[in-house]
Amino acid sequence: MSEKKTRIITIGRRFGSGGRLIGKALADKLGIAFFDRMLITEAAKESGLCDSFIESFEQTPTSSLLYSLVMNAQNGGFYMGKPVELMAYEAQINAVRSAAAGGECVIVGRCADYILKDDYDVASVFITASPEYRAKAVAEREGISVKDAAAKIVRMDKARASYHNYHAETKWGAADSYELCINSEKLSEQQAADLIAAYLEMRGK
């Protein structure tokens, strides 16, 4: 009988949907580790690149990323013998794998569902909400106008989708790419975490 794989819960999310907070509430409820932005810091430490570059890399649409890769190749944009964009992605992969190696945990973003699918029991969750709800939430959180927040969620969602679709075989935000999709507009963060936990219990390992 083969040994059961460690379960890792991955959270994909539309910008402004509260996916990070739901993931944190879930990790707290289950008593397991939670990884989000600290993976960027770990990737930066490993690669020698700065945090801001690693973060901006994940928020770059594919067309801009490809252009950057080509231009860096032509203009000598290398670090340690590799294009910096490639180093950033490899560092993020290693950071995600390192987090998962520590045991059951919740990982938000970073293509974790795709990176870990072959070696772990990945329970993938996607958090969404209406554009209107998310724009209002972002406006309140960042102290900007609803109009500016609406423009930002379009930009951020496009970048996240582009990053994910470029590196993974699944389609970002498509229901059939995930085990469970939740509309956070209808639930509090804790209720959403409770719903995921209930699904995980019924799902088993």
CATH code of the domain in which 71 resides: 3.40.50.300
> How far from chain centre, in Å, is Cα 134?
17
For residues 131 and 28, what is the distance between their CA atoms, to the nearest angstrom?
Answer: 28
Band of pLDDT at residue 43, cut at 50, 70 and 90: low
12 lies in which domain range? 7-196
91 or 181, higher pLDDT:
181
Band of pLDDT at residue 69, cut at 50, 70 and 90: very low
pLDDT digits (tens, 9 = 90+) for 122-156: 999 999 999 999 999 999 999 999 999 999 999 99
Band of pLDDT at residue 47, cut at 50, 70 and 90: low
- CA angle 142-15-145, nearest 5°? 35
- Residue 120 inside a domain? The answer is yes
- Residue 202 inside a domain? The answer is no
Taking the alpha carbons of 165, 56, 102, 32 in that order, is the dihedral positive or negative?
A: negative
For residues 96 and 115, what is the distance between their CA atoms, to the nearest angstrom?
Answer: 8
Q: What is the pLDDT of residue 77?
A: 46
- Residue 2 inside a domain? The answer is no
- Residue 74 inside a domain? The answer is yes
For residues 31 and 25, what is the distance between their CA atoms, to the nearest angstrom?
Answer: 10
For residues 39 and 15, what is the distance between their CA atoms, to the nearest angstrom?
Answer: 18
pLDDT digits (tens, 9 = 90+) for 50-66: 556 556 655 554 444 44
Q: Which stretches of the chain are assigned E, i.e. beta strand? A: 7-13, 33-35, 78-79, 82-83, 105-108, 121-128, 180-183
52 or 197, higher pLDDT:
197
Q: What is the Cβ-side half-sphere exposure of residue 138, based on CA atoms within 13 angstroms?
A: 25
For residues 85 and 163, what is the distance between their CA atoms, to the nearest angstrom?
Answer: 12
* Domain count of the fold of the chain: 1
Q: What is the pLDDT of residue 24?
A: 97
Residues 96/110, Cβ–Cβ less than 8 Å: yes
% of residues, the chain, pLDDT over 70: 74
Residues 127/22, Cβ–Cβ less than 8 Å: yes
Average confidence (pLDDT) over 115-126: 96
- Residue 118 inside a domain? The answer is yes
pLDDT digits (tens, 9 = 90+) for 70-102: 444 444 444 444 556 667 777 788 889 989 999
- Residue 11 inside a domain? The answer is yes
- Residue 181 inside a domain? The answer is yes
